[in-house]
A = this chain, B = another copy of it.
Amino acid sequence: MPKNAAKVGKIPSIRRLPQYLRVLRGLEGAGQEVASSSMLSTSLGLEQIVVKKDIEITGITGKTGVGYMVAELIDGIEDYLGWNNSSDAFLVGAGSMGKALLGYDGFRRHGLQIVAAFDNDEGKVGGEYKGVPVLPMSKLKSLASRLHVHIAILTVPGDSAQEVASQLADCGISGIWNFAPTTIQVPESVSVLNEDLSASLAELSVRIQSNM
């Protein structure tokens, strides 16, 4: 591996990268060209060493005694995350959570474009929401291959999550962002990220009790 190449970093570092992106874009908008790790750390409430280590995984290097070039760092983080070229995604399950995510316009800035939603409810199918068409589940497979979509956001009720996940795997989807409160089993080739609200609520509950 070349010396300054990006490497597969630790999950906590990866999850902090969007925070840096947010601050850096603000700096860029304000005409700031250089940013140091200490400056980034104070504006995000982190330790400086954490910022340096996080940036290290992107392969971007700074100038000793000066800091990092803002524009270069933005590009580097986006490159690392693959957020510079937008990828299309499907949303499956047009319930309230699904609609909330369709209405969340932050995804576009993160290189994610929801191109179609799917649902089995005939009352929802045929319409559109926030400019995204709601299609019947039967269209899923043909559209996935035609549009080369490989990311799916799963917002169906828990009891149908496994079945839909299997369908998605069968369609060649390679990443599932699972909002259903269920553990889903998929082939190894499919990455699953569980957005488990009950896990977060558990963490918050304990932290409140013990004042953390």
Chain A interface residues toward B at CB < 8 A: 8-9, 11, 14-19, 22, 44-45, 80-83, 95-97, 99-104, 106-107, 110-112, 150-151, 174-175, 177, 181-183, 185, 189, 191, 193, 195-212
Contacts and interface: CB of A to CB of B under 8 A. Distances in A.
Contacts of A185: 45
Contacts of A203: 11, 14-15, 193
Given A45-B183, A177-B200, 16 more contacts: A14-B206, A18-B181, A19-B183, A22-B182, A81-B202, A81-B205, A81-B206, A82-B206, A82-B208, A82-B209, A96-B99, A96-B104, A100-B101, A106-B181, A193-B203, A195-B200
Nearest to A210: B8
A174 to B, nearest CB: 6
Contacts of A189: 211
A45 to B, nearest CB: 6
Nearest to A11: B203
Nearest to A15: B199
Contacts of A174: 208
Which among A151, A191, A204 has the highest number of chain B CB atoms within 10 Å? A204
Contacts of A8: 206, 210, 212
B204 A177 contact: yes
A152 B129 CA distance: 28
Contacts of A191: 204, 207-208, 211-212
